[in-house]
Amino acid sequence: MPAIHENFQYALDEYGPVRQIRRASNAELSELHRMLPQVVVDFIKEKGFCSFHNGLFTMCNPEEMRAVTALVFGADDDFHHRDCHVFGYTAFGVLCCWSDKLYNFRIELPLNVIYCRALTTSENWPPQASAEHIASGMIPDEEEADFLDVAGTPMFAASQRAYGANETSECYGFFPALAIAGAFGPAQSVEHIKRVKALEHFTFLAQLQRFYLTKPVSGGLQAVRPIG
């Protein structure tokens, strides 16, 4: 029986309610060894694919999101859907990814942006910590996983109250999509949310608009370059 890294144990203890979605098959575990650090595979082998924070963040088999990342990345030089792996996603469509070359990064589908420290900062890169240690801390806390409305207020609890708890296969999507209505505007609110099938909605968002590699700067965000 593999030991669970202390950072994953912390997530189990503190990021509740935690729910096992399903166990991983032996075939899946064999494939996961090719895609994710051992510490992540050990956790999945022991606990299965889990959801945290009452469904705000859900772990997944990277193959489930392969078609979505193919649409996002296109023919990009740095990102390729075969070597960038989605290990989990938030209820609002933020995909948390792992790459042996880039380490952890995220794709924010509602905002059409990718945040990747490996490509946007030279400070403290490559990190001194090992890939295994970094991977052990990839489950986001509740504040990090939540999505903010136009006023900067977290939306998950309010969305659950308004529309009911999201099922494992569901997400909270903006209607109209922010790529159409405009990010950081009136449409970025609980009133414009619907509970929908996650994979279908993520596929829809991945095709709406070109994505941009983006980095945080003083006072906001800066687009670095288009993706694809």
Q: Which of the four pLDDT bands, split at 50, 70 and 90, describes residue 112?
A: very high
Instruction: Give domain status of residue 128, yes or no.
Output: yes
> Which uninterrupted H or E stretch holds 223?
strand 220-226
Query: In this structure, are residues 114 and 94 in contact, taking their beta carbons and an 8 Å threshold?
Result: no
> Which residues, in sequence order, are CB contacts of 209 under 8 Å at separation 6+?
112, 179
CA-CA-CA-CA torsion sign (216, 147, 106, 109):
negative
Distance CA(72)–CA(205), nearest Å, equals: 9
125 pLDDT more than 80: no
Please, which residues bridge with residue 85 across strands? 98
Mean pLDDT, the chain, integer: 96
18 pLDDT more than 70: yes
Instruction: Give domain status of residue 1, yes or no.
Output: no
Amino acid symbol at 63: E
pLDDT in tens, 200-224: 999 999 999 999 999 989 888 999 9
Instruction: Give domain status of residue 102, yes or no.
Output: yes
Instruction: Give domain status of residue 181, yes or no.
Output: yes
65 pLDDT more than 80: yes
23 by DSSP, 3-state: which? coil
pTM score? 0.96
Parent domain of 41: 6-226
Q: For the chain, how many structural domains are there in total?
A: 1
Q: Which residue has the tokens 């977290």?
A: 154
> What's the Rg (C-alpha) of the chain?
17
116 pLDDT more than 90: yes
Eight-state DSSP code of residue 148: B
> Which residues, in sequence order, are CB contacts of 37 under 8 Å at separation 6+?
98, 131, 132, 135, 136
Length, in residues, of the chain: 228
